[in-house]
Structure 1
Amino acid sequence: MRAPLLAVQGLTKTYRSGGREVKGLDDVSLSVAAGETIGLVGPSGSGKSTLARVVMRLIEPDAGTIAFGGENLGALNGKALRTVRKRIQMVFQDPSAAFNPRATVADVLADPLRIHGLASPAERPRRIAQLLDSVGLSANLAARPVHAVSGGQRQRVAIARALATEPELIVLDEAVSALDVTVRGQVLDLLVRLQRERGLAYLFVSHDLAVVRAVSHRIAIMDRGRIVETGPAGTVVADPQSETGRALVAAIPRLHISHLNREASQNA
């Protein structure tokens, strides 16, 4: 059996809040295969965003291991860590918080190309145009201030920036939750297409099980810092085994969204 692209084992993270210790992560283990989408879903405060940030090493765990491509990510620093980070990228719920408010779209996309030495200054305009095209945006958008584009366009720019380093895994932390329903569906379709074309793996974090089931091959449900259930997307949604899973399924809006139903059946 092929080794997973990402494998986390026994991750623990404790915070202090109001004078008491709170387990953000409690002995969490999870794997993601190349080209696979794992949906990580749970109520607010369940630990899913903490797990996403620990995987990216934006937060250091108290215990446990993170292996990516067979390498111990926790043991890497400096140049070795930057090299691996080209292969793992992240898209946040609000990309504006990660963008310089005075930057243009071109500036945002040029940064990873410059930081990782992926394109010379002369080559960058062509690469930026290619990145914008890959997410369904016009190259004419490059000169616009990033704060002046719509929310859906801004999230596409964030995805384009993640693609700039040609990663193998993208961690999406509530990446579509701030978008309206129509734009959300378009961005989900984009993510599915990019995965099909590029063989990307996704760790897709959301509180919304309806969204997660639309794009995921497997689903892991979190509650109080622990993974309480995991399995194929169709199985978890159709017959949840945990109390948290049953509550999340019960909360799914009873709306007929054809493309979500289609993707769910394909990924089940």
Structure 2
Amino acid sequence: MVLRLVQPGLGPSRPLVATFLSWAGMDAKIRAAFGPAPCIIADDSAKGTETLAELLEFAHKAGGVAQVSRLALVGYSAGCQRVRKLRMDGAKADAYLLSDGTHASWPPQEWHIAWLRELADEARRGKVLVVASHTWQTYTEELTPPLTPFASTVTVLRMATGFPLKQGGPPEAPVVSRDGQLWVYSYASAKSDAKAHSYQAMFAQPKLAAQHVAPWLLSGPPAPSVEPTTKATSNSSSDDIGPGLVLGGLVMLARHFVP
């Protein structure tokens, strides 16, 4: 397990933020963006394989979390592939923040787009919050053997959201496309631009987290009242946040959002 605790959060019931490809040098920015309330756990490498149940178990053991009020899944670059895997395995979060990492195969396979299209549709209806950012690093689609080409983040977001995404803006004024609770931030860049990609982690992601995700976790759409009806161990086949998920010896009561 490559997870680490960034902060434990406050209160018996608190939001949980799981962030992927988030190294220790980003901790101060992430804590400042989300404030003291959420429990924040991070995967430094984005190579972890933990299920949602295992993420919740880690939050319980490392952060003392007794009850998760809302869940956010956050990814930067390759970390977005971890978010994709969790979602496709059945995990349902309240908020998603995807920072310049919505890559796919080239040409994209349908399933690489379908999960994000489904999320975008839910966000349009206000069921979840989805915030995604991208640069214009389309060189990835022109790679030749022995390298393997892959779809750029802007291409995938066009296909999944239906937004035209024709141009980006400078770091201080990105072009914003919005429909309901679906937000896409377009940042201008060169075709190959390591500096612009790094900016997404160190500046864009914390800013978007503070602007959108942190408030949503504390005062998003009203959570329906759910009574615990079943108990599942951490090796359950379901990755939903069930109404009664056993963590250690403790039943974690968490909202099971049905879109």
- Shorter-chain TM-score range: 0.3 to 0.5
Greater radius of gyration (CA): 1
TM-score, normalised by the number of residues in structure 1: 0.32
Higher relative contact order (CA 8 A, sep 6+): 1
More helix by share: 1
